[in-house]
Amino acid sequence: MKTIQFREAICEAMSEEMRRDEAIYLMGEEVAEYNGAYKASKGMLDEFGAKRVIDTPISELGFAGVAIGSTMTGNRPIVEFMTFNFSLVGIDQIINNAAKIRQMSGGQLKCPIVFRGPTASAGQLAATHSQAFESWYANTPGLKVGVPSNPSDAKGLLKSAIRDDDPVIFMESEQMYGDKGEVPEGEYLIPLGVADIKRKGTDVTIVSFGKIIKEAYKAADELAKEGIECEIIDLRTVRPMDHNAIMESVKKTNRLVILEEAWPFGNVATEITYQVQSQVFDYLDAPIVKLNTADTPAPYSPVLLEEWLPNSNDVIKAVKKVLYKD
Query: Is 60 annotated in the active site?
Result: yes
Show the beta-strand stretches assigned E in 219-279: 230-234, 237-239, 256-259
Other Cβ atoms less than 10 A from the Cβ of 128: the count is: 12
Q: Please tell me the total number of residues recorded for the chain in this structure.
A: 326
Q: What is the dihedral of CA 236, 91, 62, 164, to 10 degrees?
A: 30
Cα separation values, 176 from 86, 117, 320, Å: 19, 12, 29
Measured between alpha carbons, how far is residue 263 from residues 93, 203, 222, 258, 269 in Å? 24, 27, 26, 13, 10
CA–centroid distance for 58 within its chain: 24
Query: Reduced to 3 states, what is the DSSP secondary structure of residue 263?
Result: coil
Select which of 60, 172, 174, 260 is catalytic.
Answer: 60
Query: Per the omega criterion (within 30 degrees of 0), is the bond before 240 cis?
Result: yes
Order of strands across the sheet with 114-118?
Answer: 53-55, 24-28, 76-80, 114-118, 168-172, 144-146, 237-239
Clarify whether 243 is annotated catalytic. no
Q: What's the order of all strands across the beta sheet hosting 289-291?
A: 196-199, 230-234, 204-208, 256-259, 289-291
Cβ-proximal residues to 11 (8 Å cutoff; 6+ apart), any chain: 36, 40, 41, 42, 43, 44
Which of 8, 12, 29, 129 is an active site residue? 129
Please give the Cα distance from 233 to 208 (Å, whole number): 6
Give, in degrees to the nearest 5, the angle at Cα 137 between 132 and 138. Answer: 105
Instruction: Indicate the DSSP class of residue 29.
Output: T
Contacts 24+ apart (CB under 8 A), 222-226: 222/312, 222/316, 223/316, 223/319
Q: Which residues are catalytic?
A: 60, 129
